[in-house]
Amino acid sequence: MDINEFSVFSISELSTLLKEGLETLFPEQFWVEGQISNLKTSRPGHCYFDLVEPNDEPGRAPAALLNVALWRGKRNQVEKVLSESGNLTLSDDLHVRILARVDFYPPSGRLQLIMDQIDPSFTLGQLAVERERLLKQLFDEGLLEKNGLLQVPDVPLRVGLVTSVGSAAHADFITEISNSGFGFTVLEYDSRVQGENAAAEIVLGLEVLSSHRPDVIVLIRGGGSTADLSIFDSEIVARTIAELNLPVFTGIGHEIDRSVADEVAHSSFKTPTACANALVNYVKDFSDKVSRLSDTIFERAKSVIDTETRFQNETRSKLTKIVSTTFTRTENAFNDLARRVSLTAPKQLNYQNNRLVELERRLRVLDPVNVLARGWSITRRSDGQLITKKEQVKKGEILITAVSNGTVVSTVSDQGETS
Amino acid sequence: MTSTEKNLPSVSDLSYEDALAELQTILSALEEETVDVDLLASQVARADELIHHCRDRIDVARIQVERVVESFEQE
């Protein structure tokens, strides 16, 4: 090999040739598509990032990468266009189509694209395409409706909250919950809700809170640019929500579109305040239901008591009447019996007394004392035998005769004639 | 009657009805003149005792009846 066959350049000569060659090759600006990575803003306000073409295999180094510079003056224009077109901002992972020129900077030997303008419709389209792809996949896997089928407890007072603690969204949510007057317990997980690693933090927050078994988990953030909210379109967040065994409520602050997180959540609301209000309404509905039941129970109880009281009063009245009647009847019967007793008993006693007087009279007639007093006498022989017939005595026999006041002793002189 | 006389119950133990029945029996016997004159006095004495017993019972009953009737009137 003859070494004189090849040209020899100094670095500056080569750099100048490269610069001129590139300018010849790309005399005008052109559109280039890629994904933003390592976005940085310098103190003077210039933006720098890598425009990458991701590797088909996740986790591998990009298939291609070019440095991009966006000077402060152009950056303001670009941001304005993005904002007006769809609430977009420059951020990592954003798919962009930028208008740029190639620039080679000899002092540092750096090849970079100098960004001039951006096509926001490309970015919006990419976001929409990705979102549709993810939604279809979740639907096919049955994950889109899964969280929505979970039952929210009647009284969801124990709430897990994933948000940026201290943000306006956080303050709005807590204010609404506190003003309800109900005894909510809020378990908070402080998570970034935008920027690098935000999706991973949200996923961790959801899982950590889930382990504490709240009644529901709430994921909120305030409104922001479409790109800022792309976290909530991320697959990992969507899958985590879908697979959680607890109802997830979202209040992500979209004014127009719903994020994928909203789609897979149990319930989604436009603002954190609306989300808090929904929880309050769950509790309020239950409270109202209990109040209504309480009123119904009270009314029914009162009705039963009134009926019973009426029945008892009627029964008491009837009973009093029956007792009174029975008592009167009994008293009358008693009085009648008493009257009969008071009349009959003395009558019977008089009858018995008269009967006794008659018997006594009859007895007095038969009393020997009274017989002797009337002049009759009783004569016995000396041996005491009673003389009732004249044949019982002989002439000369001594007889003893009892009279009313003593005895007379006599001797039989003649038996006399038989009458 | 002579043979049972000694076994007669004490008059004070007799009920009014029994006393009255015995009195009537004695009187019937006396009136039919079936009673030996030797027993007459003792029969009359028994009858007299029976009469007094019955009268006492009537008097007691009368007092009790009067008290009961009084209590009816008080009620």
- Given a contact cutoff of 8 angstroms between Cβ atoms, the answer to whether A17 and A32 are in contact is no
**Chain B residues within 8 A of A339 when measuring between CB atoms:** 72
What single DSSP character describes residue A143? -
Asked if A349 lies within 8 A of B38 by C-beta distance, the reply is: no
Contact status of B55 with chain A (Cβ, < 8 Å)? yes
Spatial distance between the Cα atoms of A380 and A281, rounded to a whole number of angstroms = 138
Query: How many CA atoms does the CB half-sphere of A348 hold within 13 Å?
Result: 12
CB A360 to CB B51 under 8 A? yes
Using the Cβ of A342 and the Cβ atoms of chain B, whether some distance falls under 8 Å is answered with: yes
CB A362 within 8 A of CB B27: yes
Q: Which of A279, A223, A276, A218 is nearest to A252 (CA)?
A: A223
List, in order, residues 6 or more apart from B55 with CB less than 8 Å away.
Answer: A353, A356
Interface check for B37 against chain A (CB to CB < 8 A): the answer is yes
Domain boundaries defined on chain A: 10-118, 142-284, 370-409
CB A191 within 8 A of CB A208: no
Distance from CA of A413 to the nearest CA of B (A): 26
Within 10 A of A229 (CB to CB), how many other CB atoms are there?
22
A386, B58: Cβ pair inside 8 Å? no
A359 lies within 8 A of chain B by CB:
yes
Structure-block tokens of residue A30: 């052109």
Note whether B69 contacts A338, CB cutoff 8 Å. Answer: yes
Task: Output DSSP code: residue A147.
Answer: G
User: Which residues does chain B have within 8 Å of residue A359's beta carbon, measured at their own beta carbons?
Assistant: 23-24, 27, 47, 51
Report field, pTM of the whole predicted structure over 0.80: no
What span, in angstroms and rounded, lies between the C-alpha atoms of A259 and A274? 16
* Superfamily designation of domain A10-118: Nucleic acid-binding proteins (2.40.50.140)
Name the CATH superfamily housing domain A142-284.
Response regulator (3.40.50.2300)
How many helices and strands, by DSSP H and E, does chain B display?
3, 0
Tell me the residue type at A113.
L
In the prediction, which pLDDT does B44 show?
87
Q: What DSSP assignment string belongs to A20-51?
A: HHHHHH--S-EEEEEEEEEEEE-TTS-EEEEE
CA–CA dist A171, A167 (Å, integer): 6
C-alpha closest to that of A235 among A258, A190, A270, A203: A203
User: Which of B30, B62, B68 has the CB atom closest to A349's CB atom?
Assistant: B62
| Three-class secondary structure of residue A103 per DSSP | strand
CB contact under 8 A, B58 and A349: yes
A367/B27 Cβ within 8 A: no
Please answer whether residues A206 and A219 qualify as being in contact, where contact means their C-beta atoms are separated by less than 8 angstroms.
yes
Q: Do B37 and A338 touch (CB under 8 A)?
A: no
Look at B51 and A356 and tell me if their CB atoms are within 8 Å.
yes
Cβ–Cβ contact A340 with B under 8 A? no
CA nearest to B58 within chain A: A349
Please report, in tens digits, the pLDDT of each residue of chain A (419 residues total).
677 788 889 999 999 999 999 989 998 999 999 999 999 999 999 999 999 998 887 778 889 999 999 999 999 999 988 888 766 788 888 889 999 999 998 888 989 999 999 998 898 888 788 888 999 999 999 999 999 999 999 999 999 999 999 988 999 999 999 999 999 999 999 998 776 678 899 999 999 999 999 999 999 987 655 556 778 888 999 999 999 999 999 998 765 668 899 999 999 998 999 999 999 999 999 999 999 999 999 999 999 999 999 999 998 899 889 888 887 887 888 788 778 878 888 888 899 899 999 999 988 888 888 888 888 888 988 888 888 888 888 889 999 998 888 899 999 988 776 65
A301 touches chain B (CB under 8 A): no
Kindly report the backbone phi and psi dihedral angles of residue A286, in degrees, each rounded to the nearest multiple of 5, phi listed first: -65, -45
Q: At what angle do helices A235-243 and A198-211 cross, to 10 degrees?
A: 10
Integer Cα distance of A107 and A302 in angstroms:
96
Q: In B, which residues are within 8 Å of A366 by CB distance?
A: 27, 30-31, 40, 44
* Residues from chain B contacting residue A341 (CB–CB below 8 Å): 65, 68-69, 72
Q: Which regions of A292-391 does DSSP assign to beta strands (E)?
A: 378-381
Q: What is the ipTM of this complex?
A: 0.80
- With CB atoms and an 8 Å threshold, state whether B37 touches A378: yes
